[in-house]
Amino acid sequence: MTEPVSLDTALASFDALWSPRIVTRVNDYDVRIAKVDGEHVWHVHDHTDEFFLVLDGELRIALREPAGERTVVLARGAVFTVPRGTYHRPSAPGGASILMFEPTGTMTTGDHHDTVPGHVDSTAGHELAP
């Protein structure tokens, strides 16, 4: 049976950065939360968009688009979808908590990526500990 999940409690249950936890599933999609700080890695998802909701702090997403590079800045409560096939690099210079919605099995470092730094967990998400 499914039980309600408190996002505050779920976020308090882990400390790892750039290492999302799966809080629930909707059809064939994971709803993941993560604590983030510093820079992720440039990467691209060839076959899926990537949805971000900022729960706390500020998230920046650098994008490589046909017209050039740009950065979107997302404050608490803001949402943004990175279109499939768009190279992007999330960052949170002051730290943030985010929620992502993406197909189950989607790797956090995409289908193609730069060298993955040690502070980034290349994963399809971790189950939230009970």
Considering the domain 20-112 in this protein, what is its CATH number?
2.60.120.10
Whole-structure pTM value: 0.93
In angstroms, rounded to a whole number, what is the distance separating the alpha carbons of residues 60 and 38? Answer: 10
pLDDT, position 1: 46
d(CA 38, CA 28): 30
Q: What is the pLDDT at residue 123?
A: 86
Answer yes or no: are the C-beta atoms of 15 and 35 closer than 8 Å.
Answer: yes
Q: What is the pLDDT along the chain (130 residues), one digit of tens a residue?
A: 478 999 999 999 999 999 999 999 999 999 999 999 999 999 999 999 999 999 999 999 999 999 999 999 999 999 999 999 999 999 999 999 999 999 999 989 888 888 888 888 888 888 887 7
What are the domain boundaries of the chain?
A: 20-112
